[in-house]
Chain A
């Protein structure tokens, strides 16, 4: 075979053609710009404390710079973009997922510790018994805000303040100084309806009294001094002014904890070791559903391969029969399910199996007077999934089998006919044994594909009906992938750590399958 070495090692001359020279400089500038951009991302991620992403882009940027500057790596320039894509969007997620499976990363432990600290420090509370009643008074186009302290002395000694005229169309947050006043303005106060309408603007106001007290809106009738609830202390703990207690950061669980053991949300992600894995196997509320889903996933993938292979094989054997006419038409019609986009045909079946409005139940009702609950009875739902998936998947097997049957020598059938073999003998004694060996790696691939057939489950049943008593969202028709997806994205808890642990287990299974596949198919590189 002809090979080239991509001009490796040859000195590169300054090109005689102006256009080529400009093109080279443009390419260099593009690479340089990309490297600079990636390095900017590295710095930005590093400053945000997300070292995994920083590392990803550091590796990417360095590799880009090295590959496109060294002449000995000329050939690698051609494969760099594709390998980079694979690295960032396939391999990195693998590593990242593996990494977070050892953490408690979830919706309650999402932000970094600094962010959590900042969020807590920005919390405020209202000082008790120091509220001011307020009323709004129109003054031309603008509105004055009049405050009067509640619960204190009334009449002469009461604390009263008045704001300058304000434009309530302005909803920005702003600090306004208020001055002591003797009495309410002469104009009638605005009605409650207008106060409610101006709520957005009022919530943005920070009224500062001459004594330096800051007042914020604390209700539709009140402004009150709001105090910072937490105060950072030198040892890293926070002091809670409202409840007079100390919060210490607990790096074991990733939360601030009070002395009596209460945890304050939000928390931050910390390493929890093998906790997620032990939960899968030890926590009965997770182990039960997990094992059930695990078994169903294997059954689903295995039965799908079996059914699709059976249907596809029989059809292929029929279609290769010389005496049959109109093969091309049959073939085209038979692979239609493969040609229609899956997300459309799955939804068609979802509509057809609908219990009340679906065609399937209308026909069954007309024939036998039954209306099965396809989406609420576990075994019916599973049967439906297998029926639909066989419909979706047999054309692939049909095509594979047709290709392989073509390659069987004709004289074998001739010899069988001479010896009096019927079509069934031919099918099971000649065709099947001859194609099963080359078919095996493809069957394993099909098994792996259906093992992870997320789209079918997500669009048809969504995993429902639910498994009772599960602490994570788990359904009787869920596959491991859709189960993982639901733990990560659907549950209110969004437990990414647990989802990643299950994903890692699936990775191991798939890796085993694909290694087996590679060995069986003996891929030549």
Chain B
């Protein structure tokens, strides 16, 4: 590059590297710490970053396998982590598939059709999306409480309620998909329509196959958001075997009985897949997130 270089460039570069390294180690320290703790014996915080006394106890317990200590005593898993993880994955899978279906069809209409009320609906969705879900909890609690008396699988303490409630958060995804659809040239669909395809067929057989990448991204985004959803699940779910991971995980850190090691193993077990998925898809996810301006 033809940039004019100042003289002290080497010293500055070194300083920048040092500053960045220092900052990065500060940032990554808690995460490394948790990984280290999960392989350490006991539930206490003492010890160095590299475990001196290596033990798989916490990992066995996280996988729900009773662990026999050296002195012969058997430790039972304190919480059903795998069940919580399964609940989370189940809810997230169904709700993100539903969200994807709803968001795709409406994004198609918003991108390709002209109809009455289009602009106000789009703008209104953006505004309403900013309202925090926590404040709707009283109303939604009342709604599902009453609904559950009539339709048992939609009551309090059901995963059905949690899945259905997540359908309110589609606006962000609609905007993401709509933007992608608008970037695809419409002439292919036009040609299909000229040849006699219906609107639905043009959408289903022409546009959808072209949009698989953005659909994947929206799916993963919705999935990650659903896994991390806390307020709704904390109000709607009651029984221990119904909890999702986001609600259940905090039980490890009760005020006076901190199961630090067990928590660490469970946290790494459940957090790692999500983190890796996020990092792999970061480019698209970040594009979607920064466009909407909110992190779920």
Contact = CB atoms under 8 A, between A and B. Distances in A.
A343 B228 contact: yes
B138 interface: yes
A191 interface: no
A449 B279 contact: no
B277 to A, nearest CB: 9
A525 B246 CA distance: 36
7 contacts: A4-B199, A93-B140, A96-B143, A318-B19, A323-B13, A417-B5, A503-B138
> Is the interface on chain B under 10, 10 to 19, 20 to 34, or 35 or more residues?
35 or more
Contacts of B118: 525
A523 B126 contact: yes
Interface residues of A, number: 110
Contact of A452 (B6, B134, B189, B228): B134
A5 B109 CA distance: 9
The 7 closest A-B pairs by CB, nearest first: A2-B186, A89-B168, A93-B136, A78-B109, A93-B139, A445-B293, A85-B167
A91 B130 contact: no
B114 A324 contact: no
A135 interface: no
Contact of A488 (B33, B138, B286, B290): B138
A3 to B, nearest CB: 5
Given A78-B108, A315-B23, A348-B34, A414 B136 contact: no
Nearest to B255: A375
Nearest to B164: A89
B249 interface: yes
Given A4-B199, A323-B13, A417 B231 contact: no
A458 B16 contact: no
B212 interface: no
B249 A336 contact: no
A334 B24 contact: yes
B170 A82 contact: yes
B31 interface: yes
Contacts of B119: 525
Given A323-B9, A348-B34, A449 B127 contact: no
A350 B263 CA distance: 11
Interface string B1-22: 1111110010011001101100
B167 A100 contact: no
A25 interface: no
Given A339-B278, A348-B33, 11 more contacts: A74-B199, A82-B103, A85-B170, A89-B136, A330-B24, A334-B23, A341-B274, A422-B6, A441-B293, A445-B130, A496-B138
Interface of A: 1-7, 41, 44-45, 48, 50, 53, 56, 74-76, 78-79, 81-83, 85-86, 88-94, 96-97, 100, 315, 318, 321-324, 330, 332-345, 347-352, 354, 357-359, 362, 391, 396, 399-400, 403, 410, 413-414, 417-418, 422-423, 441-442, 445-446, 448-449, 452, 454-455, 458-459, 481-482, 484-485, 488-489, 496, 499-500, 503, 506-507, 510-511, 513-515, 517-518, 523, 525
Contacts of B250: 343, 347, 459
A366 B108 CA distance: 61
Given A446-B293, A525-B118, A2 B187 contact: yes
B267 interface: yes
B106 A83 contact: yes
A342 B293 contact: no
Given A45-B146, A350-B253, A4 B112 contact: yes
Nearest to B101: A81
B175 to A, nearest CB: 9
A48 B108 CA distance: 40
Contacts of A513: 130
Contacts of A515: 127
B219 to A, nearest CB: 16
Contacts, number: 301
Contacts of A83: 106, 121
Contacts of A511: 127, 131
Given A2-B189, A97-B139, A345 B30 contact: yes
Contact of A347 (B5, B106, B267, B293): B267
Contacts of A2: 112, 185-187, 189-190
A362 B37 CA distance: 15
A426 to B, nearest CB: 11
A414 B4 contact: yes
B193 interface: yes
Contacts of A85: 102, 167-168, 170
Contact of B106 (A78, A318, A338): A78
Contacts of B128: 86, 90-91, 94
Given A93-B139, A334-B27, A417-B4, A343 B122 contact: no
Contacts of B235: 489
B115 A413 contact: no
A93 B167 CA distance: 13
Contact of B146 (A50, A351, A403, A488): A50
B105 A340 contact: no
A127 B295 CA distance: 64
A331 to B, nearest CB: 9
Nearest to B171: A86
